[in-house]
Homo-oligomer: A and B are copies of this chain.
Amino acid sequence: MKVIALDAHDIRFPTSRQLDGSDAMNPDPDYSAAYAVLRTDDGAEGHGFTFTIGRGTEVCVAAIEAYAPLVVGLDIDLSDLGGFARRLIHDSQLRWLGPEKGAVHMAAAAIINAAFDLAGRVAGKPVWRLLADMTPEQIVDLADWRYLTDALRPEEAVDLLTAARPGRDEREAALLATGFPAYTTTPGWLGYTDDKLVALAREAVADGFTQIKLKVGGDLADDVRRLELARQTVGPDIRIAIDANQRWDVRQAIEWVEALKPFDPYWIEEPTSPDDILGHAAVRRSVAPVRVATGEHVANRVIFKQLLQADAIDVLQIDACRVAGVPENVAILLLAAKYGVPVCPHAGGVGLCEVVQHLSMFDYLAVSGSTENRVIEYVDHLHEHFTDPVRVRDGHYLAPTAPGMSAQMKAESLLEYAYPDGAAWRS
């Protein structure tokens, strides 16, 4: 199968008009995607994207286009998508712009995930099953092991995957029956009024969620008031995670979390820079038993490796399309399993729920083998733009069954929200 085109689209939704997604660092995001379509000579397509928040989406689009010479014309071997990914990531001239971080890495994520979407469609399987049906050796070969072997060697990873095989069929049956646990951030945006927070928190509990999340870090008095309100609303048994979106220095993070401890926060997410491994470790030592979570802005597996080596996190939050797509996330899932840290993906934005659920379901079936203390973030925004939108029931993601990675946006949405010429932006 030959790739005959790599299309790149700049898609933006004007979410800032309602303050959906507003947090202490990102007051007015317009949820966006640099969206890639791999087209092949037999008519099959793969769709993928990287998530952005408005300005700069065009930079990721330019980065997707920069990879086109490596992709267009290629006879793509769908049984060696690890090799396909490494072909992009190891291009020395493009690698210079990272390495393995920023716009080029995010663009690679869009293209590599599109290749997995394509492989799922060709195999007639959702990507969670495509991955879970691979042998341990095939799974291990997806990852780029460069820079990982001081923490985990490929042979160890094969052993780990082999040890996880018993019970797989029972887990798949449970997944298909019940789905994968979710939590919701819908109540928690900083731009929402107290009344809206209370109403949405109450609704979340009624909908079966056992964990919600609140944004914090703008103003301490506001955070105390909002967290107290939320705790009163949901009672003592619902977990409330808090999320500072990188707002603090280390000392400030420790003091702020201390002030919120009376309301029993379950985890503090992104207390400081996502690059600050030692800072996260210092925060974790000080704020226990509040857990430390991070990952949505972690650039690559090398930073995740160190967060685990340094005992810096209690909860590892993968993002489907900031690191270089499925293969790098497979490496990260393997690292997390080795270190015994649960993976709770970042989602929300646009399309992140759709894509990342495949990775958690694969993790459950083939890697960690558990859903204990594992939840996928859920936000009820923009799902209507996808051809295979997530289905969340009673606080769980139901397993997608359509072939592919659920990444495809509807053709009419691609037209309407095209930036700057779509109808949504022309007005």
- Report A's interface with B, CB cutoff 8 A: 25-30, 52-56, 58-60, 62-63, 66, 69, 91-106, 146-150, 246, 249-251, 272-279, 282, 297, 299-300, 302-303, 305-306, 309-310
Q: Which 6 A-B pairs have the closest CB atoms?
A: A102-B102, A55-B93, A150-B250, A103-B103, A54-B93, A62-B62
Assess whether A147 is in contact with B26, with CB atoms less than 8 Å apart: no
**Contact A251 to B150, CB < 8 A, known contacts A97-B102, A274-B99, A299-B101:** yes
User: What are 26 residue pairs bridging A and B, where the CB atoms are less than 8 Å apart in the complex?
Assistant: A29-B96, A52-B97, A55-B91, A55-B94, A56-B93, A56-B96, A56-B97, A56-B104, A59-B59, A97-B106, A99-B246, A99-B273, A100-B273, A102-B103, A102-B104, A103-B104, A147-B273, A148-B249, A149-B250, A150-B249, A150-B282, A275-B303, A275-B306, A278-B309, A278-B310, A279-B306
Q: Which of A59, A246, A299 has the most CB of B within 10 A?
A: A59
Cα(A279)–Cα(B223), bound, Å: 38
Assess whether A59 is in contact with B92, with CB atoms less than 8 Å apart: no
Residues of B within 8 A of A26 (CB): 92-93, 96
Assess whether B98 is in contact with A102, with CB atoms less than 8 Å apart: yes
Cα(A360)–Cα(B277), bound, Å: 28
Cα(A306)–Cα(B66), bound, Å: 32
Find the B residue at minimum CB distance from A250.
B150
Q: Which of A95, A104, A273 has the most CB of B within 10 A?
A: A273
Residues of B within 8 A of A58 (CB): 62, 66
Cα(A59)–Cα(B275), bound, Å: 23
Find the B residue at minimum CB distance from A16.
B93
Minimum CB–CB distance for A340 against chain B, Å? 18
* Contact of A249 (CB < 8 Å), options: B28, B103, B147: B147
**Contact A27 to B101, CB < 8 A, known contacts A150-B282, A249-B147, A275-B303:** no
Residues of B within 8 A of A101 (CB): 98, 101-102, 275, 299
Residues of B within 8 A of A303 (CB): 275
Q: A55-B69, A59-B103 are known; give 13 further A-B pairs, CB within 8 A.
A: A52-B96, A53-B96, A58-B66, A59-B63, A60-B97, A97-B106, A101-B102, A103-B103, A146-B249, A147-B249, A150-B249, A275-B299, A279-B306
